[in-house]
Structure 1
Amino acid sequence: MRRPYPLILAALLAGCSTPALPAPPPASPSVSVSVAPTCPADGVRVELGTGDAAAGLRVLDFFLVNCGTAVVKVKGYPAVRLLDEQRRNVSVNILQGTYVITGSVPDWNKPPREVVLRPGERATAVVAWRNTYDNLADPPVNATHLEITPTAGGTAQVLTPRGDIDLGSTGRIGVSSWQPRSDR
C-alpha cells in the first residue's frame, strides 16, 4: 500500500511559496559627519586620551582644552570622582599624585605649577591605578565613568573611557597635577 504522505507534503509545500519581494531601494551614499565638541560656558573642556595598561598598572591621560576666548590658568590637581554605570559615586581613595601607584615615573610625578593656557592650548594630567586583587573579603572595585572638575569652582565633566576603571581590591587611584601640553 502506498502512503499518501509525500503527496500531502508536496501539496502543503506548494502552498507555502513566498511571493517575490520588491527590490530594496538603492543604497544612499554614506556621509561622514564630523561634529565639533561643544565648549562649556566656562571655556574649558576635558577630553580623554588613549590610556595604557600593562602588568596590572593602568594609566589614563586626559586633557584640559581652553576652548574659550580668554586665558585660563590652572594649578594643582584636577578634582576626580569615579562613577558607576548609573553615575553614582564609587567610594575610593583619590590620591594627589601618582607616586604611590606608579613609583618613579617623572612625567607623572611633577609637582603642581601654574599652567597658563591661551585659547586653543591644552594641559594634560593622568589618573593611574593598579588592577590588583589581593583581598578576597572585598569584591573588586570597578567604575564606568570618570568625573573631572578641571578648575576650582569649575564645571564637573563626566567622561567614559573605553573600558572599565578596574581597581581590583586596592580601592585607590592617583591623579597627577596639570602639566602644560605643547600640541593643540
Structure 2
Amino acid sequence: MRHIEDLRKLLSARRPVAAAVVVTVAAGLVAGCGSGAATVGTATSGTAGACGAPLPSTAPGAAKGGVRITAAGPACAEYEVTNAGSVPSDVTAVFTVLSAAGGALDTVTQTVPAVAPGATVKGRIDLGRIGSAWPAGADPAARPGSGSGSGPGVKVTKVRSVPSAEAPQPAGPCPASGLRLYADDGDAAMGLRVMGLHLRNCGTSTVTVNGYPKLQLLDPEHRPIEGVRFLSGGAEIAAGTGADNPPQEIALKPGEGARSALVWRNTAQDGEPINATYARVRAFPDAAPVMIIPELDLGTTGRLGIGAWTREDGRP
C-alpha cells in the first residue's frame, strides 16, 4: 500500500509539468496562422483553421481547374482541391500573392498528392513564410481579402495534375518499376528550348536502355495531341544542344543514370500554334509510363527533337 501511495504522489507531482507542456504546444500552434500546417511547396489534408473571411467561388481569381481558395487574410489563405477525374491524381497549383494594390508580389507552388477521384482535400498557404503580402503602414481597409471588396490577397494562376501512378519521383521511395524518370527545368534562349530528361536505376538489378525515350504529348485536358513530328536528335532544330549522340546500348547498374534531351522552337508563323502541357514518357517501349509537365510551346513548327539516352556521367 505504501508503494501505491508513493506512486500516486509521484504522478500528482508530475501533472502540472505535463499540463504546462500541453499549454506550451497549444500556444505554439495558435501563435501564427499556418503553424503546424503545410509549408510553402506542400499541402496538408484535413480541416484547415480559419485564415480570414470566407470567399465565394466567384471572387476574382479564387477558383481554377478544381482548386478553390476558400478563405484569405493577411497571414494565410486556405484552399481546397477537388479531383473530378477517374483516377487518383497529384495536383499542383500555383498561387500568386498580391499586394494591397493588386500587384503580384510572389508565387507559391503547392502539390497535393494522391487526391482520390471525387474527393476534396483542404490545404493552407502560410503567407508569413514568404514575406508580408501587405506593406507595413498600408491602409488595412484596402488590403485584399479584408472584406473591402477588392478580392483575395492571393489568386490561383495555374493548376496541373498527373495520375499518381505516373507521377515523377525524383526522390523518396524507389518506384515499383525500379527506375526514376523526371524532367529538369530546362533552358530557353532566343526561342530555342532544351529540357533534360533524367533516368536513374534505383532498383536492385541492372536495366538496359537503347535508343530514344518514347513520348506521347497531351493537352491541358490530358487529351492526345496529333500532328507533331518527333525527330531523332536535335540537329534539325539547332546545333550544339547535346541531343545528337548516336543511340547505344547502356546497361545501368543500381545507382547509375542516363539522360536525354527534348529540343524545340516556339517559332510562330502561319497556322495554329501547338502547345503540349503534358508528356507521357517511357524510357523504352515496354517501360512504365511517367507523366511530366514540360509545357511545350512548339509554335507552328510542330517539331520536337528527342535525344538518345546517354550515360549521365558521360562514360561509354
Q: TM-score, normalised by structure 1?
A: 0.76
Aligned to 1:40: 175
Deviation at 1:25, TM superposition (A): 2.3
Unaligned runs of 5+ in 1: 1-23
Map Cα deviations across residues 128-151 of structure 1 (whole Å, 9 max, x no partner).
00111111xx22110111211002
User: AA paired with 1:101?
Assistant: I
Of 255, 273, 276, the match for 1:120: 255
Q: Helix, strand or coil: the match of 1:70?
A: coil
Contact 2:259 2:309 in 1 (8 A): yes
Match of 1:16 in 2: none
The residue aligned with 1:105 is: 240
The residue matched to 1:90 in structure 2 has which SS? coil
Q: Equivalences for 1:160-171 in 2 at 5 Å? A: 160-161=293-294, 164-171=295-302
Deviation at 1:122, TM superposition (A): 1.0
Q: Deviations over 1:151-175 (max 9, x none)?
A: 23111110113xx210110011010
Give the counterpart letter for 2:275 in structure 1.
N
- Is the CA contact 1:85–1:143 (under 8 Å) kept in the aligned structure 2? yes
Name the structure, 1 or 2, with higher relative contact order (CA <8 Å, separation 6+): 1
- Spell out, residue by residue over 1:31-76, the C-alpha distance to the aligned partner (whole angstroms, 9 max, x if none): 8699944433221121111200111111110101111111111110
Runs of 4+ aligned residues of structure 1 deviating over 2 Å after TM superposition are: 27-42
In the alignment, which of 224, 227, 248 is matched to residue 89 of structure 1? 224
Let me know the Cα RMSD of the aligned residues.
Answer: 2.4
1:1-184 matched pairs, under 5 angstroms: 25-27=30-32, 28=35, 36-91=171-226, 92-102=228-238, 104-105=239-240, 107-135=242-270, 138-161=271-294, 164-182=295-313
Alpha-carbon distance between aligned partners in 2 of 1:142 and 1:106, rounded to the nearest angstrom: 21
Gaps of 5+ in 2: 1-28, 43-168
Q: 8 Å contact 2:241–2:263 — kept in the other structure?
A: no
SS at match of 1:89: coil
Contact 2:234–2:306, Cα closer than 8 Å, also in 1: yes
Give the aligned residue type for 1:100.
E
Q: By how many angstroms is 1:101 displaced?
A: 1.0
Instruction: Check the 8 A contact 1:47/1:65 in 2, yes or no.
Output: no
Q: How many residues align?
A: 155
Q: How much identity, in percent, do the aligned residues show? A: 37
TM-score (norm 2): 0.45
Quick one: distance in 1 between partners of 2:38 and 2:229?
Answer: 45
- List per-residue Cα deviations over 1:2-52 (Å, max 9, x = no partner): xxxxxxxxxxxxxxxxxxxxxx92233678699944433221121111200
Partners of 1:150 and 1:167 in 2: how far apart? 22
Deviates more, 1:43-52 or 1:25-34: 25-34
